[in-house]
Amino acid sequence: MLGLATVVAACGSSDDSAATPTESVQAPDTTDGETSEPEQASSGRATLTIADGTVYEFVMSSCDTQDTDPSGFPLSNGYDLSGRTADGQFGMSMGRAGLTDDEPVMSGLVEGDFDDQGKNAKMIYSVPSDTVDLTASGRQVNGTLDLRAIGPTRTHGDRSSATLEANC
């Protein structure tokens, strides 16, 4: 994942945010230690539907494709997606980057059950690159992926599948 983060950072990506389930809640602003209204600006929205029926709606902090950032993504199917649910309780990041279509780097993560400061997730699912079938077309990234639990909280079991629909 460090390799993808480095590649994505070199491509102009700017955020490591996460996402939340269908319950739309704003992520708190804790810069002054108090909860205040979150920022409304976003670069898109994404819906992640887990096989068990759970739906996460993410407000994207980063939502780029080859079409929205051609200089940052030389891959024909490159993307950088990251966001959090409105309440800040869940996060998601997916990225496919690289310098050529022959050797792409893919990484993905879904996390939640954060501590009181909105950090240190207990629910962590990795997205193995060989299970990802996402296609970036224009401003959209859609497809399927598998999730594998690596955190102590296994909300969706040890393994699950999901469908992602993102609009940047």
Render each residue's pLDDT in the chain as its tens digit; 168 residues: 334 433 333 344 333 334 434 443 333 343 344 433 344 445 799 999 999 999 999 999 999 998 888 877 778 888 999 999 999 999 999 999 888 778 888 999 999 999 888 889 999 999 999 899 999 999 999 999 999 999 899 999 999 999 999 999
Q: Quote the DSSP letter at residue 45.
A: E
d(CA 7, CA 100): 12
pLDDT at 42: 55
pLDDT at 100: 78
Q: Is the dihedral of CA 125, 128, 133, 139 positive or negative?
A: positive
Task: Record the pTM.
Answer: 0.73
Query: If DSSP codes are grouped into helix, strand and coil, which group holds residue 5?
Result: helix
**What would the two tokens of residue 155 be?**
């909300």
